[in-house]
Amino acid sequence: MIGGMRKTTKKRIATTAFLLFLMLIAFLVPLFWNNVEACHRRPHKPRHPPLGKYIDVGIFCDETEEPIPDGFAVRLTGMGFDQTQYTVKGHVLFGSGIPDGTYTTSFYWNGPYSYEVTIDCSQITWHFDYYVPNPVIIKHFYYDISHEGYPPIEGLNVTLLEDGFPIAWQLTDATGTVTFGGDLVDVCKEYYLTWTYGGVDDQEGPIHFAYDQYGQLLVCVWEGFNYLEPKSGGGK
């Protein structure tokens, strides 16, 4: 009986010692690994504040895809933000520090343009491109014969001059009209139209497409009318 008790006691002591050993291991292992990580861990770097966001607006001529001339006004409003910038090489840049949200970009090019844009934290710079029509010069020629309803003058040769130099010419069509636009006419330049009728040289101009004092293009379509007396021999 005594021998059995001794065996039981020894067994309990061995079990207790084993449990204590496991507890000691469980305590020391995390401490060991923490020390190892501390040896290899890089020094803590302070986090930088999030970068401010920007809105980049580009405006281009529709026909040529060229940027509009410098100095055109573009306004950005929304989320308590209200600012006007002026184009450089067709672009304006708003920022930084613009909060996430929905904004309105607006400008005036022969009429009001307005676009809603929404930004969030997924990008630093948000790009939005818009296209506006090139300026256009339209000229109509009619015979000054009121009782015949002012018939159009067809086949009259009209030359377009830019800053004093001829750059294109057209013959009036069946409606007595010539149209110069697309890549021919630009903003902030001076134009003239010249023609010869009945052996006499004549001209129209100067024709301007310039921004106003607020950086807006109020008119980009110029249209003129001429009523000429009929000449013998066709009058051209």
Per-residue model confidence as pLDDT tens digits over 85-101? 999 999 999 998 789 99
For the whole model, what pTM was predicted? 0.69
pLDDT at 223 over 90: yes
| pLDDT over 90 (residue 187) | no
- Taken in order of first residue, the domains within the chain and their CATH numbers are 54-132 (2.60.40.10), 136-234 (2.60.40.10)
Which stretch of 96-100, 208-212, 232-236 has the lowest confidence by average pLDDT? 232-236
Mean pLDDT of the chain: 84
Closest C-alpha to 54, from 98, 89, 103 = 98
pLDDT at 197 over 90: yes
Least confident piece of the model among 29-38, 162-171, 189-198: 29-38
**End-to-end Cα distance, the chain:** 143
**pLDDT tens digits, one per residue of 154-182:** 999 999 999 889 999 999 999 999 999 98
